[in-house]
Amino acid sequence: MNYTVKFQTEPEYKNIRYGGNSIYNSACGPASLCNALKALGIADISIPTMCNLAVSCGARVEGGTDEAVLLRSAASKYGFEWRSTSKNAELLSHLKAGGAAILHAGSTYKLFSNSGHFVAAVAASGQTITVLDSYWYSGKYTASSIRRNYVSVVSKGVVKTSLTQCGKATIDRSPSYYLISKPAPAKKTEPKKEETELVEKTKFEIGGEKFTLDAITKNGTTYVCLKQYNNVLGLDTGYDAATDTRAVNFDQLNIAVNGTEHTVPGLIAGKGHSYASVPDLLKLTGCTVGWNDGSIVVTSSEGDV
């Protein structure tokens, strides 16, 4: 894969300040983040722009860049996820999964620099890591035996080395690695399926007469169609839109009258029809309910309704 590397060592950056120094000398932290985001296809940010962000968020500190502070601010601005680790196995797994990482090289093992330095790791094949180095100059990776023996130059700014060498180069930094990835895709939320109820023709015996009314049986309770039940008893049914309550008028016994509500278990089913719990509904109308020869028998306190 071909990589487009952004270099802090462009001649014009010698005269552009980054905190108390120049981008040329001190901006490996912002530059490595630019290269990681570019490689992942998340954002194409210029090094001066990232340096300005580092200064504004307080990531520019004496001696360099606080990469964690910069990452927190940049993640919010550009939309990516990140975490830190010092484990080689986690770095390797992350790169093989398609992520990128910023390696925080120290000064003990001078693989990427003679002092502290940030570089971007963008791929892994087997135990071999592809690294983008923003601080580039001619002969850098032939300047010492360590670099000659353990680093191979692919092209300007692109080198390969082993996972073991990455671990050695970052051994005196904690955390050693900042793992960067694209945001996880949002989980699709399945639309909630509306609960459906089976409406059955149910026999009622009211006042000695038999009727067949629509009813629903759920969790052992029978719910009768309020409109049909009221028609049988000669009651008036109304709907109070302000309180979203079905109102049943029967002398002084009501489910809702002038804003005074009696709570009756029920549900809305079919074409907006209200179904009320038979035992609770009959209790409000001074009736009791029984069962006789396959029919629900409704009886008032003064005899059959």
pLDDT tens digits, residue range 156-211? 999 999 999 999 999 999 999 999 999 988 777 776 655 566 788 888 777 778 88
* CB < 8 Å & 24+ apart, contacts of 287-296: 292/205, 294/203, 295/203, 295/204, 295/205, 295/210, 296/202, 296/203, 296/204, 296/205, 296/222
Tell me the C-alpha to C-alpha distance, in Å, between residue 172 and each of 62, 90, 108, 115, 159.
19, 18, 7, 11, 22
Indicate if the pLDDT at residue 250 is higher than 60.
no
Domain locations in the chain? 11-181, 200-304
User: Regarding predicted confidence, which is higher, 62 or 233?
Assistant: 62
Can you give the pLDDT at residue 225? 79
C-alpha closest to that of 142 among 134, 132, 152? 152
Q: What is the mean pLDDT of the segment spanning 282-291?
A: 69
Rounded to 10 degrees, what is the CA torsion of 227, 230, 235, 240? -40
Rounded Cα distance, 26 and 55, in Å = 12
Would the pTM of this model clear 0.85, i.e. be above it? no
User: Regarding predicted confidence, which is higher, 63 or 10?
Assistant: 10
Indicate if the pLDDT at residue 25 is higher than 90.
yes
Count of CA atoms in the C-beta half-sphere (13 A) of 217: 6
At the top level of CATH, the class of 11-181 is alpha beta
Q: Please tell me whether residue 244 adopts helix, strand or coil conformation.
A: coil
Rounded Cα distance, 9 and 22, in Å = 10
Rounded Cα distance, 2 and 42, in Å = 16
Q: What is the mean pLDDT of the segment spanning 92-108?
A: 97
Tell me the C-alpha to C-alpha distance, in Å, between residue 203 and each of 113, 206, 236, 264.
90, 10, 22, 21
C-alpha closest to that of 111 among 164, 64, 68, 67? 164
Crossing angle, helix 28-40 and helix 67-78, to 10 degrees?
40
